[in-house]
Amino acid sequence: MKIMVIGSTGQLGADLIAALPQAGLQALAISGRQDLDIINTAAFAAFLDQHRPDAVINTAAFHNVDLCESQTDSAYKVNTIAVRGLAVECQKRGILLFQIGTDYVMDGPSDSKPLPESAAVHPKSIYALTRFGGDCMTLTHAPTMGYVVRTCGLFGLAGCKLKGGLNFVDTMIAAARAGKPMRVVADQIVAPTPTDDLAKQLILMIQRRPGPGLYHAVSHGQCSWHEFACTALTMAGLDHPIAPVSSGEFAAPAHRPSYSVLDNARLRHLGLDIMTDWRSGLQRFIEKKYPRHK
């Protein structure tokens, strides 16, 4: 099978490109607009006809949560309208489409239990609203070929291009090594998810091909961003204080969910949930990227 990965140089994309050949699948890498502008549906359709992939995994999005608040048109075009085009063209050709979604569309109370696919959505920012639009476009326009895979708090070796090649863990370790004062929110609860685990989960879904629709795929367990940061420093052998603060103290332009821990209910029901605990994924990431010399 030939698998087209849109956003192949991002954290998840890079791990997919590495893992697909190991699973006996051919990877077709699309790194960015210089390779293919997904807003241009006609160009996307022509690309599909030329390269004939068996599945498309779209990891691309307008990811800058705060900038979406002021650049609403761009966010809508990339996160919603472009996805409609992907769904329509993949459905026409019988090509599987895996649209990577976000936990930001959910927002439960702080005493919630992990939220299954059946839970109500509560998008409270332009980013969340437009990403939910992409979910809807996938499920509506690719009813037999479309998969929405929502995930949360991604971190991987490739880092986030939006953050200069760094992810949350990288940023915390860099700040601690530099001896900078550190403050991290303690009132937002998430399930940090390593991209190598998610890549393997997506590949299993391609191979097993469960029914189309909405799936959650996150690490098991949950923590606050503050606990996540403290755990990362401890695992990296860094002794540096991190002050817990409320999200209100940062006054970010866009709302962040207070509780967006997802439950992999559908995958678990099908016996396909191979995600691991967030701590083991974090430990593996740090051992690979920040090995400690003995």
Active-site annotation, residues: 127
Closest CA to 100 of 206, 12, 203, 191: 12
Distance set, CA 100 to CA 12, 50, 81, 148, 177 (Å)? 10, 24, 15, 6, 33
Q: What φ, ψ does residue 20 adopt, rounded to 5°?
A: -60, -50
Cα 106 to Cα 116: distance, rounded to the nearest angstrom:
10
- Residues ≥6 apart with Cβ < 8 Å to 232: 169, 172, 173, 282, 286
Residue type, position 222, single letter: Q
